[in-house]
Amino acid sequence: MKAFVLEKYGRPFRQVSVPRPAAGPGQVLVRMVAAGVNHADERSRAGEFKLLFHPTLPAVAGGELSGEVVAVGDGVARFAVGDAVIAYTGVVTMGAYAEFAVVDEGALAHAPTSVSLVQAASLPVVGLTAWQALVTLGRVQPGQRVLVHGGSGGVGSIAVQLAKHLGATVVTTVSGDNADFVRALGADEVIDYRREDFVARLAASPVDLVLDTQGGETTARSLRVLRRGGIVVGIAGTPDPALADQVGAPLPVKLALGVLSARLRRQARTLGVRYRFLFIEPDGPALSTLAGLVDDGVLKPVVDRVLPFGRTLDAIAQVLAGGTRGKVLVSTRPDPAGSMPSEAEAQDFPERPTTWATVPNSHITVAGDRLLYRDLGPLTDTPVVLLTHLGATLDEWDPAIVDALARRHRVVALELAGVGGSGGVVPGSIHEMADTARAMIAALGFEHVDLVGFSLGGFVAQQVALDDPDLVRRLVLTGTGPAGGHGIDRKTGGAYIYWDMLRGLAHRTDAKEFLFFPRTPAGKAAAPGSISAASANGFLTATSPWPCPASIARSPPSVGGDGSSHRICLASRHRPSSPTATTTVWCPPNSPRTCTAGSRTAPS
């Protein structure tokens, strides 16, 4: 089976093939469907816990998963083959980053039934952290006040919901962009940490418990917002001697932790409050309670993104880079996005950014090059992939267009090699650009996509559809091809910059060669043929009714599979140009060779 293994502290995790494990007495063998990615995985890799825990290396990494039971060991009574389960295995047993994992029965719980099994993988670590902080250590009571730092993150988003369920008044710190998101989760008071000092804000209204997800100076300052007798529970700060007792560490380790945390504990005593560091433990019964709260509608797991299992290292890097809202998961399902809730269900989960301004850049590695993309909108079945003209960076996409699409669709915008923050060399031809786009789509784990091509991206999108017709479900051309019924000659004629026109005249060359192609030997060689082919297909001089090119007609069925034409009108703005209404067309297979124009305008 495939697995990601920690071979030696400090070394990167490595993907290897290892024998499938067998369930021993009191154990359950689980086929992993999804695994949660956590900061603790990186801390384990770096050896931060090696004085406290001693896993036998090499060992399969990862501690959080969902999956299906395929075998049970002797003495197992609560689980049977075929059960859907979730688990946190801990930092010693680990084992989640593998196609199969052996889990102690006491760490397992039946998965909630109201969410997908992939989504359920987001619950164990954040759920147990919130539970053990608020219930086990904090003993939160109705009417108390709880401060959750980072309420939009994986732990914070569940902690806000759980604290509200326990009857507390919930205060949280987030960026202003996430204020509405955490209010929807149940936060009563929201502090924008970029604009307000939480200590000053809470001076007149202290809290009974602080869940500190940040560490550093935030931990010490949080002591000052507590009522006497209150407690700060930290998950990212300085460990205290109680941790050594919890894990049975030797006396020298306990003394060392005492020295490290002495100043913080002394400050707490002076203020009449307490500080405890939380290191969660596997707890199947608590997980069962949390799963029940999910099915009761009390808790909603928050998932930022799902990556293919083979991209586990990329997923870890994205978590460490920050900027995610909720959990990052990896999945063994062929189409992780397809295992998410339906579009209607996804609208009930406000976990992913739906505005261009709030989504961070992510990256994938393709052929050794680090390439950027952005991923936003609900996790619906088929993503809409955006391709644009050569030299345009992600920041140049008009938010008005992307945001409109992201209200109802998962949108992924690609930045090809050599452009903006992406590494590598700028491709010299449409074919090379299409190859890069297809490689990025494959690396993202998408089996089918809807392609939106703007300007030169329309040429690239058409080539992708020609090269791999099974990949492209629907093709949308805007600002190129039959856009507006006028073709690229009339649509962009006024957009040619004078220098390109002069160069075209001087070289007796079509000015579009300068507009759309790099002036490298490969670009010069590719330009005439690509423009001629596009012209022959009607992409450059289309007239109404618009021809439906072979690259579109060969694409797989559109949504519904009814063979009808799907049309949409987009405002194909691209900074700094002014808005230009551009009608585009989606043609399913077996449709007539022509499609008539729709009449709708930009999506609302």
Same fold, 2-122 and 126-277: no
User: Strand order in 384-387's β-sheet?
Assistant: 362-366, 369-376, 411-414, 384-387, 449-454, 472-478
Residues facing residue 410 across a β-bridge: none
Q: How many whole angstroms separate alpha carbon 212 and alpha carbon 499?
A: 57
The SS3 call for residue 536 is: helix
Classify domain 126-277 by CATH number. Answer: 3.40.50.720
Look at residue 97 in the predicted model and tell me its pLDDT. 94
For residues 479 and 572, the answer to whether their CB atoms sit within 8 Å is yes
Nearest-angstrom CA–CA distance, 71 and 514: 63
- In angstroms, the CA 124 to CA 276 distance is 21
Helix (H) or strand (E) run with residue 450 in it: strand 449-454
pLDDT at residue 579 in the model: 28
Cα dist. 198→150, 161, 478, 529 in Å? 12, 20, 47, 62
**Cα(199)–Cα(196) distance, integer angstroms:** 9
What CATH architecture is 2-122?
A: Alpha-Beta Complex (3.90)
In this structure, CATH architecture of domain 361-595? 3-Layer(aba) Sandwich (3.40)
Ranges of residues in the chain whose predicted pLDDT is under 70: 322-323, 334-352, 379-381, 389-392, 478-524, 526-527, 529-604
Instruction: Provide the phi-psi class of 20: left if phi over 0, else alpha when psi is between -120 and 50, else beta.
Output: beta
Instruction: Return the beta strands (E) in 278-404 as ranges.
Output: 303-308, 327-331, 362-366, 369-376, 384-387
The reported pLDDT for the residue numbered 555 is 31
Distances from the Cα of 402 to the Cαs of 192, 360, 566, in angstroms?
26, 14, 19
Do 129 and 286 contact (CB within 8 A), yes or no? no
Domains of the chain, by residue range, sit at 2-122, 126-277, 361-595
Q: What does DSSP say about strands 581-586 and 566-571: parallel, antiparallel, or unpaired?
A: antiparallel
By DSSP bridging, strand 59-60 and strand 64-72 are unpaired
Contact 127, 299 (CB under 8 A): yes
Radius of gyration of the CA atoms of the chain, in A: 27
pTM over 0.95, yes/no = no
C-alpha 71: how far from its chain's center?
32
